[in-house]
Structures are given as structure tokens and as C-alpha cells.
Structure 1
């Protein structure tokens, strides 16, 4: 494996990681901002108010996007990793 192939594989791996993690990170961001605005508007400063809804939203998002994440990782593994391991 040449240096260029290694860099290309690293770039593709980082891109797949970003694509797979994007739904969870976006939901956590949006949920955090909405709850932060709610806390600022109502002056409610409860610590669990930010934690529990964010975890719940992330679990729901993970459950909904599990098929997409699995398909993306499986396609990357079968199309990129396995052929390179096999010497193709």
C-alpha cells in the first residue's frame, strides 16, 4: 500500500465516520439549543432538564437511523476495507 492509498483510505474513513455520526450530533445540538433557550426564557436552571431530554432524543435518533448507519458502515467495509485486505 502506497502513501497516497493510505491517505485516501484515511480520508474515506474520516468521511464515513462524519456521515454516520452526523444525525446523532445534529439532534444533540438542536435539542441542547432548544432546551437552553427554554431555560433562558423561563429562568429554570435544573441540570437534569438538559441531560434527560438530550439523551432521550439521541436514543430515539439512534433507533431511527440504525439501519442507515449499519448500511453505510457495511458498504464501506465491503467496498473499501475487504478488497484492500484481500489485496485487490
Structure 2
């Protein structure tokens, strides 16, 4: 296994991790901005107000995008990692 192969596999793995985490991080960012704007407009400074909607939305998005995340990770392993382990 050459250095180029290792770096290419590492690059692909990092890109897969970005793809898998993008839906959750996007929802957390949008929910945080919306709740923060709501708190700034109403002067309500309750910590659970930021946590509960963000957690609920992240669980919902995780449930919806779980098949995408799983298929992306499985295809990465079956197309990239397992052939390198087997020596193909």
C-alpha cells in the first residue's frame, strides 16, 4: 500500500464523514439561529428553550436520514476499505 493510496482513502473517509454529518449539523445550526433570534426578540433567556427544540429536530432528522447515512457508510466500506483489506 503506497502513501498515495493511504491519503486517498483518508480523503474519501473524511468526505464521507462530512456527507454523513451534514444533515444533522445543518439542522442544529438552523434551529440554534431560530431559537436564538426568538430569545433575542422576546428577552427570554431559558436554557432549556435552546436545548429541547434542537434535540427534537436533530432526532427527527436523524430518523429521516438514517438510511442515507447507512447506505453511504456501507458503500464506502464495501467499495474502498474492504477491497484494500482483501488486497484487490
TM-score category of the 2 structures, normalised to the smaller one: over 0.9
Partner in structure 1 of residue 31 of structure 2: 31
CA distance in 2, matches of 1:71, 1:9: 18
TM-score w.r.t. the length of structure 2 is 0.99
Cα deviation, residue 12, structure 1: 0.3
CA distance in 1, matches of 2:84, 2:33: 42
CA distance in 2, matches of 1:73, 1:5: 19
Cα deviation, residue 87, structure 1: 0.1
1:87 aligns with 2:87: yes
Partner in structure 1 of residue 74 of structure 2: 74
User: Which structure 1 residue ranges, 5 or more long, are not aligned?
Assistant: none
**C-alpha distance after superposition, 1:23-49 (max 9, x if no partner):** 000000000000000000000000000
Aligned length: 88
CA distance in 1, matches of 2:79, 2:51: 38
CA distance in 2, matches of 1:23, 1:55: 13
Partner in structure 1 of residue 42 of structure 2: 42
Once superposed, what is the RMSD of the aligned Cα atoms?
0.4
TM-score w.r.t. the length of structure 1 is 0.99
CA distance in 2, matches of 1:83, 1:33: 43
CA distance in 2, matches of 1:76, 1:4: 18
